[in-house]
Amino acid sequence: MIGIIGGSGVYEITQRADSSTVKLVRTDYGDVEVSILDIFAKKVAFIPRHAAGHSIPPHKINYRANIDALKNVGVTKIIATNSVGSMNENMPPGSFVIPDDFLDFSQDRVKTFYENKVVHIDVTEPYCPTLRDVLDKSGEVIIGGTYVCTEGPRFETPAEIRMFKMLGGDLVGMTGVPEVTLAREREICYNSICIVSNYASGISDMELTIDEVFEMVSDKQADLLELIYNFIRNADDDADCTCHHALDGAEV
């Protein structure tokens, strides 16, 4: 099954599915409502990351419950959407970027399922290369880039953005970690579609507002949904991947 974790602009996917049912999935980390959709005769599980009405801020999202719920309904591959600011002028507002690495500057989030057991997963390729190849064939995207995750909910300062750029960051957002590594711990393929909503602080002279983010995502909504639909159509349901064996050799 394919899993979709949707930020802003993706909620309409449930309305365009051939059929949709909502299932309450119980996990050890909390209960999660998952929409089970039929799209192109494939089962797709959808979770709105910020809940209905975009009501949960990035630092309060129950990332473990969301990933565990998708695992429990049989998801083997996840595509997430993340609104980001760009620190790279080759990744302008309106772009869809498929990252291949991340820097984690989040602070107060539980980042592992293994709090009472020693497990060291490999993140040499934190984002699934198999899913990246499918996304590359599914629409107009920029392949590659380093995603910087901050704690939020505030936007970053110009000095922070200068630091992130010096460290090799291309994109900045608040929701990509620990989602990506939790998926790896559950041996689920994971990749992200980063929607560039604006240039980051200090790169743009304009004051950053959440309205600007929502406006860009709204403008790109049709293209984003088309990219996701093409991904669903092109994804190989039976393909194996190294992500599905991430715990091999990781457990002490």
Distances (CA, A) of 46 to 16, 124, 246: 12, 27, 23
At 147, which helix (H) or strand (E)? strand 146-150
Domains of the chain: 2-245 (3.40.50.1580)
Cα gap 246→189, rounded to integer Å = 10
User: What average pLDDT score do residues 8-28 get?
Assistant: 81
User: What average pLDDT score do residues 130-147 get?
Assistant: 97
Name the residue with higher pLDDT: 9 or 43.
Answer: 43
Phi/psi at 208 (5° precision): -85, 135
pLDDT score for 211: 72
CA 236 from centre of chain:
20
User: What average pLDDT score do residues 166-170 get?
Assistant: 98
What global pTM score does this model have? 0.93
Question: With 80 as the cut, is the pLDDT of residue 205 above it?
Answer: no
Cα gap 114→31, rounded to integer Å = 19
Question: With 70 as the cut, is the pLDDT of residue 194 above it?
Answer: yes
CA 227 from centre of chain:
14
pLDDT score for 8: 59
